[in-house]
Amino acid sequence: MRISIIGAGSFGTSMAIVAARAGHDVLLWAHDPSVAEGIRRERRNPVYMPSVELDPHIGATHSLAEAAEFSDSLLMVVPSHHYRRVLTELLPHVARADVISGTKGIENESLETMSQVTAQVLGDKLRAFAVLSGPTFALEAARGDPTVAVVASKEDDFASAAQGMLSGGTFRLYRTNDVNGVELAGSLKNVIAIAAGVLEGLGLGSNTNAALVTRGLHEMTKLGIALGGRLETFAGLAGMGDLVLTCTGALSRNRRVGVELGRGKTLEQILGETREVAEGVKTAKAAQALAERHGIEMPITTEMYRVLYEGETPRAAIQRLMTRSLKAEFAR
């Protein structure tokens, strides 16, 4: 079959490789025309994944009209803060479409997930929706390291179809119908991953990191359940699996942002040095707003918001976390 992948960053390129490996023809849409031209000319993504040669079944374009014409199966892999705009620009070229979102983020202005944004923008042009998430570093999946993730859709048939579409010898998908949980887990873990990087940047050790991951998962789960997700999702690939990966893996963009924060760089300096998007930076705003809206205590997320947006120092944030009032580990 044919698949159009909207977004030619690291993960979009990786999913193009995975889809081609599964036997599909793929058209990869790039926002930057020079990236699309580089892919066509060099058979590599010259900016985001220059070390991996692309399958001949992968094409590239800068035209959304061409991408929509190529296939009505769309894999959206654009940053959350561009997702609505890109989908709106696609809308005139779409008759009916199946959409799989690989975007891990929450829209800051509306506090909506990508499933909500997709339904609003496409309306009755949306045939089915799924979200793909889990512990999936782009480079490792692209080079064929065994990788496992989860796909969620409220339509069981589409969850099964999406699962079969991308699964193969090196990429395995599980399925669920917990769209809320998978989207929220994939988004919220990025905030905790920045915090994990901060700990490394400060030179702190394994005790601190283990505490962060455990309590970070706890507060992710509290908010996720309050917003309709299920407990088991946060204990699975989209929750615990992805959290462990992004908090410990050297390829994590969010963790790298945290490392530089811990070493004393400003957020503006860090973001100015890379073209890649660390979704946790923006998600920290949305997560803090959602926690306040729903009355959910999320102390790690709150402290990361203060470090990122209010000029708080990482050491002061850690001290405030460590000196909070004492309480039971699990509320009764």
Out of 189, 265, 285, 327, pick the active-site residue. 189
Q: How would you classify the pairing of strands 25-29 and 2-6?
A: parallel
Apex 265 CA angle, 260 and 271, nearest 5: 75
Is 327 catalytic? The answer is no
SS (H, E, C) 11-66: HHHHHHHHHHHCCCEEEEECCCHHHHHHHHHHCCECCCECCCCCCCCEEEECCHHH
> Which tokens sit at 110?
């509306």
Torsion sign across C-alpha atoms 208, 212, 214, 218: positive
| Element (DSSP H or E) covering residue 179 | helix 179-201
- Contact predicate 277/9, CB 8 Å: yes
Apex 140 CA angle, 138 and 142, nearest 5: 65
> Which tokens sit at 295?
């009355």
Could you give the residue numbers annotated as active site?
A: 189
